[in-house]
Structure 1
Amino acid sequence: MGRFPGVFLRGILMGAADVVPGVSGGTIAYITGIYEELIESIKSFNLDAAKVLYRGGIKAFWTHINGNFLLSLGLGIVFSVLSLAKGISHVLEFYPSQISALFFGLVLASSSFVYRQMPKNSGRLLWLVFGIIFAASIGEIRPAQFDVTPLALFLSGAIAICAMILPGISGSFILLLLGMYQPVITAIKSLDIMTILIFSAGCGTGLLLFVRLLSWLLHEHRNRILSWLTGVLIGSLTLLWPWKQTGNTDGSSIATIQNVFPWNSVEYPVSQIALCIALMTAGLGIVFGMEYVSSRRQPN
Structure 2
Amino acid sequence: MRWSNVIRGFFMGITEMLPGISSGTLMLLLGIYDQTLVAINELFTKRYKKSLMFLIPLFIGMGIAIVTMSSLINYMLNTHPIITHFFFLGLVIGVIPMMFKLGNYKVEFKTVHYSIIVVVTALLFLMDYFVLEKSDVTSVEMSTTMLMWLFICGFLGASALILPGLSGSVILLMLGAYPILMYSISEFLSFNFTVTPVLVAVGLGIIAGVLLTSRVLHYLLRVYPYLMYALIIGLLAGSVFPIFNGLPSRPTEWVISLIAFVLGLFISYYMSIKNNSDTI
Structure-2-length-normalised TM-score: 0.84
* d(CA) in 2 for partners of 1:111, 1:4: 28
CA contact under 8 A between 1:86 and 1:189: conserved in structure 2? no
Q: Determine whether 1:88 maps to 2:85.
A: no
CA contact under 8 A between 1:82 and 1:189: conserved in structure 2? no
* d(CA) in 1 for partners of 2:48, 2:28: 26
Aligned to 1:289: 270
Query: 1:95 Cα shift?
Result: 2.1
CA offsets per residue over residues 131-153 of structure 1, 9 Å max, x none? 32232232122328898521222
* d(CA) in 1 for partners of 2:100, 2:17: 26
CA contact under 8 A between 2:150 and 2:201: conserved in structure 1? yes
CA contact under 8 A between 1:15 and 1:78: conserved in structure 2? yes
Q: Which moved more, 1:114-123 or 1:66-75?
A: 114-123
Task: Give the root-mean-square deviation of aligned CA atoms.
Answer: 2.5
Aligned to 1:40: 38
Query: 1:294 Cα shift?
Result: 6.0
Q: Secondary structure at the match of 1:21?
A: coil
Cα 1:177/1:103, change in 2 over 3 Å: same
Aligned to 1:179: 176
* d(CA) in 2 for partners of 1:207, 1:61: 16
Q: How does 1:6-155 map to 2 (within 5 A)?
A: 7-46=5-44, 49=45, 52=46, 61-63=48-50, 66-119=51-104, 120=106, 121-122=109-110, 123-143=112-132, 149-155=146-152
CA offsets per residue over residues 111-137 of structure 1, 9 Å max, x none? 122212222231442332233223223
Query: 1:91 Cα shift?
Result: 2.1
Which amino acid in structure 1 is aligned with residue 125 of structure 2? A
Cα 1:32/1:292, change in 2 over 3 Å: closer
User: Identity, % of aligned pairs?
Assistant: 24
Unaligned residue ranges in structure 1 (runs of 5+): 53-59, 244-261
Query: 1:14 Cα shift?
Result: 0.8
Q: How does 1:108-257 map to 2 (within 5 A)?
A: 108-119=93-104, 120=106, 121-122=109-110, 123-143=112-132, 149-191=146-188, 192-243=195-246
Work out the number of aligned pairs and report it.
260
Unaligned residue ranges in structure 2 (runs of 5+): 189-194
CA contact under 8 A between 2:131 and 2:173: conserved in structure 1? no
Aligned to 2:250: 269
* d(CA) in 1 for partners of 2:169, 2:42: 26
CA contact under 8 A between 2:96 and 2:236: conserved in structure 1? yes
Query: 1:87 Cα shift?
Result: 2.3
CA contact under 8 A between 1:153 and 1:198: conserved in structure 2? yes
CA contact under 8 A between 2:17 and 2:169: conserved in structure 1? yes
Identify which of structures 1 and 2 has the higher relative contact order when contacts are C-alpha pairs closer than 8 Å and 6+ apart.
Answer: 2
Q: Secondary structure at the match of 1:168?
A: coil
Aligned to 1:4: 3
Query: 1:110 Cα shift?
Result: 0.9
Cα 1:238/1:31, change in 2 over 3 Å: same
Answer with 1 or 2: which has the greater Rg: 1
CA contact under 8 A between 1:242 and 1:276: conserved in structure 2? no
Aligned to 2:191: none
Q: Secondary structure at the match of 2:131?
A: coil
CA offsets per residue over residues 174-232 of structure 1, 9 Å max, x none? 11112221221121122243321111011111222222221221111011101210111
CA contact under 8 A between 2:37 and 2:218: conserved in structure 1? yes
Cα 1:28/1:189, change in 2 over 3 Å: same
CA contact under 8 A between 2:16 and 2:168: conserved in structure 1? yes
* d(CA) in 2 for partners of 1:140, 1:44: 38
Structure-1-length-normalised TM-score: 0.79
